[in-house]
Chain A
Amino acid sequence: MPSTFAYEWNTPTYKGKTSFNTGLFINGQFVDGSNNTTIEVVNPTTGKVITSVSEGVEKDIDIAVEAAQKAFDTVWGLNASGSVRSELLWKLSTVMEEHHDELSAIEALDNGKTFGWAQSTDVAFATKVIKYFAGWADKISGQTIETDERKLTYTRHEPIGVVGQIIPWNFPLLMLSWKIGPALATGNTIVLKPSEFTPLTAIKMCELINKAGFPPGVVNIVTGYGHTVGAAISSHMKIDKVAFTGSTLVGRKIMEAAAKSNLKNVTLELGGKSPNIIFNDADMEKAVDWTTHGIFWNHGQACCAGSRIFVQAGIYDEFLKRFTEKAKAIKVGDPFGAGVDQGPQVSQIQYDRIMGYIESGKTEGATCHTGGSRVGTEGYFIEPTIFTNVKPDMKIVQEEIFGPVGVVIKFEDEADVLRQANDTTYGLAAAVFSQDINRALSTAHKLQAGTAWVNCANQLHANVPFGGFKQSGIGRELGEYALHNYTNVKAVHVNLGHTL
């Protein structure tokens, strides 16, 4: 029997409780994993285990796929009209609203982000994304295409079928909404693997999905490890599409497995080393604020983090001074504490990784301008860190750190900074700060990135597409574009008069 996770908060920012089943969610039921094993969930604030959840293995993916296929063939797919799908997604969003603070608290507990950020951003945005895609569900249309009068030619935008979705630990609930929103709106059924580091809000959502009234088998959530459950999904012969958000390293494995199994359709949203370019004529105060947000939001654990900060020589000293002040002013502490801006990193592994990069920065000769150390003695807290005097070939300049570590690089001219900014295998996002709109637009257009921010950073909207160039990914999420990831186009040729 799966266990129940019960928790109560009595903190400066949140008082409340939660209690939910921690089994695998297959066919609308909570069940044990086939091996009857569990995964421990650690609270990154304390480094201590807070609960265990059922562990899924390869066999459980088979069971989930079967349930998802059955649902697709009988109660979902082409058997549920767009308006039915719309209504259910809308209902889910209202149920999420009813549980808004509870979801925020679970997220902060499990991931380490502050309750304030979870409440104002993660959960709010996730709810908005579900509402946005609810609105698309009854608007999936193909085209009628003129060929000749003896023929009717049209396209249907059909659901793909059973889709596998693998989501990361940095924005657990938000990433879940980005995935299930468009997939359900277009009529697909889902087998989703949350991150083994942060499964709790995904598991809580299963209860809400039942409450909203989705038929059993439409959404199935199987917690497990990447090398078991993740691999099973990407190589499954009966899953026709896999969508993955995570590291570029794992993204390659997913794509390889897809190629070797049934050539399933793949979309990937991977890493980044996004450049943030500040010209001499930028509005300094605002640029500093956005830059700070660009790298330190979510403790630097954002795929689109503006982690390479290029500052033009004319303003370099002043900018660095102000940016450092902002970084130092960030209050690091308990996610449920009053006035806290930044909680712990998500896990021991991530903590070690980031500290490893910080070490390498120092070893390779960069200047650790501020930060660079652990905060406290418990939990995975790292100071907001800025490196200067870096060289392009340093690891901290080339590789994605995924922590609160920014590198600041001085540049002289436009051509040079563009060359440097684009000199990366990544291409997820980029930002430009300049009050000269001609220069800002011209630069934005030349940056090889899926999102170019002008005089802002890390701003996302449910209706604007997001995704990577180059090795940052394949496909786009959010906006109308996301629907394409989950539809199969069928062209229908109806002959009314041609004879051979």
Chain B
Amino acid sequence: MAHSVSVKIPKLNKTIEVPTGLFINNEFVPSVDSQERIETVNPATEEVICSIVAASEKDIDIAVAAARQAFKTTWGKNVTGWERARLLNKLADLIERDAQELAELEALNNGKPVKMARDFDIGDSVQCLRYYAGWADKITGQSIEVDNKSKLAFTRHDPIGVCGQIIPWNYPINMWAWKVAPALAVGCTIVMKPSELTPLTALKLSELAKEAGFPPGVINTVPSLGPVGGAALASHHDVDKVAFTGSTVTGRKIMEAAAKSNLKKVSLELGGKSPHLVFESADLEQAASWAALGICYNSGQDCTAGSRVYVQDTVYDKFTSILVDRVKALVVGDGLEEATGAGPVVSKGQYDRVWGYIDSGKAEGAHVLVGGEKRQSKGYYVDPTVFTNITSDMKIVKEEIFGPVLSVGVFKTEEEAIALANDTTYGLGAGLHSNDANQCMRVSSALEAGTVWVNQYNILNNNVPFGGKKQSGIGRELGSYALEEYTSVKAIHWNFGDKLDWPLY
């Protein structure tokens, strides 16, 4: 039974075949007990793209069983690091081959510009897969000296087992790669629940996983509603680890479910309200560019979005005027159009949410410097909006908006800047702009964030770890650190010379 649909993209004069079933054991299948479908929408036009099968709790059970079977027989300790490396590299090759089509599908479903999806999202994803392919044959434990006459002690870094992975809608392909690559590199099997808003590229990538040669059951893809699939994975007794990227609200639920079920391992990459600090010695032109990137990139739908900027009073006026120019230079439009630098926000739900915050900003007395006006045409557009005259207790300053809405504040001293920056329950990213090296060191040391950018913002590298402090998360992705999230350490004490006298006394 065919489980795919032809998605027409009139704007590009193209058709893309999209699988619509659940991907379990290398096959696309219908739900075993549910008729539920998920409708995917193009946020630029508000039109339905297609509908796909929505997994039920029973489907999740089947997917987990498939992953477990693969882990016991064809994956886990049954496959060498070399083979895992080979397959990951092959998958990277295939994604590279199909980059244009994947980028177009991503743009259609998520709204981001095609060229950004292709060059950044997919480019980074391919590199991420290759980076972790390079780790697959380098998983080492330690041999530890205990007593040379009688014991050999060593550690094994074993794969944890079946991993439930729940990814968000802001960077569907890139978040897929960040989760899939390290888990597979160390030998885990996966049940992946992509976001119900943007499941299409995950399904296409599943086709490539099969083509690359991964054995059935190693990767399973089960789009479903969060409260169904996400909850099922977090509370499943046969899932050994859950990795989640998304909102802090949902992150708490995942951790609670893990605690109440089988105490599965949990890693969370959650929200942020990341601050920029612009000191008087900063190159203001550059700082303004980075600040604009920080809030406008991906239409502000980024966990590390630099959504608060605090500027030293001596350069406040100059900086904000440059910032306004930068923000106004961005072309916001349909992702399928060549000139677009940023697309609409992903859905009606997000659209309403972000506009709700903009309204609250106005209501609570902040001043709109740029933006703040709804478009009259179709599409979930939010033009970049900058608020000034903010106070710390305003909702727009405290809560994560997840759209292109920036709050700009002012400070006098370094101490004040640090205090303002750290005054949040979040701790994901932070940026500081200064040409005083000692200040850079002091401030980067003081900022309570998992990633601190000095004279930069939002640029990540696959080999540098990423994650949150405080309520922004638990655990790290990227770099060698991600491997720890998917390995379970076993210590082996091998006695070859000790005899036991019993009873002891």
Contact = CB atoms under 8 A, between A and B. Distances in A.
A149 interface: yes
A442 B495 CA distance: 10
A437 interface: yes
B82 A136 contact: no
Interface in A134-176: 134-139, 141, 149, 152
Size band of the B side of the interface? 20 to 34
Interface stretch (B111-119, B128-136, B241-249): B128-136
Interface in A429-463: 437-438, 441-442, 445, 462-463
Contact of B138 (A82, A83, A137, A463): A463
A139 B137 contact: no
A336 interface: no
Interface in A93-148: 128, 131-132, 134-139, 141
Contacts of A134: 134
A494 interface: yes
A480 B142 CA distance: 13
Given A480-B140, A494-B441, A135 B497 contact: no
A219 to B, nearest CB: 21
Nearest to A185: B134
A297 interface: no
A402 interface: no
B320 interface: no
A152 B138 contact: no
B81 A463 contact: yes
A438 B134 contact: no
Interface in B418-460: 438, 441-442, 445
B494 A135 contact: no
Contact of B134 (A135, A141, A149, A437): A135
A138 B134 contact: yes
B496 interface: yes
Interface string B465-505: 00000000000000010000000000000101100000000
B127 interface: yes
A494 B442 CA distance: 12
A291 interface: no
B497 A136 contact: no
Contacts of B138: 132, 135-136, 139, 463, 480
Interface residues of A, number: 27
A415 B441 CA distance: 60
B137 A463 contact: yes
Among the interface residues B81, B127, B130, B134, which one has the most CB atoms of the partner chain A within 10 A?
A: B134
Nearest to A440: B496
Contact of A496 (B82, B89, B137, B442): B442
A86 interface: yes
Interface in A465-500: 480, 494, 496-497
A411 interface: no
Interface string A341-366: 00000000000000000000000000
Contacts of A90: 89, 130
Interface in B369-399: none
B152 interface: yes
B93 to A, nearest CB: 10
B45 interface: no
Contacts of A462: 137
Nearest to B80: A461
Contacts of A438: 496-497
A496 B441 contact: yes
Given A494-B441, A496-B438, A86 B494 contact: no
Contacts of A437: 496
Nearest to A138: B463
Contact of A139 (B134, B152, B438, B497): B134
Contact of A128 (B82, B131, B438, B496): B82
B85 interface: yes
Given A152-B441, A437-B496, A135 B140 contact: no
B148 interface: yes
A118 B305 CA distance: 55
B137 A136 contact: no
A138 B85 contact: no
A399 to B, nearest CB: 31
A462 B136 CA distance: 13
Contacts of A497: 438
Contact of B85 (A83, A86, A131): A131
Contacts of A128: 82
Contacts of B82: 128
Nearest to B440: A496
B496 A135 contact: no
Contacts of B140: 463, 480
Contacts of B438: 496-497
A383 to B, nearest CB: 37
A494 B437 CA distance: 10
A463 B85 CA distance: 13
Nearest to B445: A149
Contact of A132 (B89, B137, B445): B137
A156 B480 CA distance: 17
B186 to A, nearest CB: 14
A445 B130 contact: no
A442 B137 contact: no
Interface in A194-235: none
A86 B497 contact: no
Contacts of B480: 139, 141
Interface in B126-173: 127, 130-131, 133-138, 140, 148, 152
B441 A86 contact: no
B463 A442 contact: no
A151 B316 CA distance: 31
A83 B152 CA distance: 38
A83 B494 CA distance: 40
Interface string A254-271: 000000000000000000
A135 B445 contact: no
Interface string B79-90: 001100100010
Contacts of A445: 148, 152
A462 B462 CA distance: 24
Contacts of B152: 441, 445
B127 A83 contact: yes
Contacts of B135: 135, 139
Contacts of A480: 138, 140
Contacts of B463: 82, 138-139, 141
A441 B152 CA distance: 9
B134 A136 contact: yes
Nearest to B463: A138
Name the 5 nearest CB pairs between A and B, nearest first: A135-B134, A438-B496, A496-B441, A441-B496, A463-B137
Interface of A: 82-83, 86, 90, 128, 131-132, 134-139, 141, 149, 152, 437-438, 441-442, 445, 462-463, 480, 494, 496-497
7 contacts: A132-B138, A135-B133, A135-B135, A138-B131, A138-B462, A139-B463, A497-B438
Given A137-B134, A445-B148, A496-B441, 10 more contacts: A86-B134, A132-B137, A135-B136, A136-B134, A138-B134, A141-B463, A442-B497, A463-B140, A480-B138, A496-B442
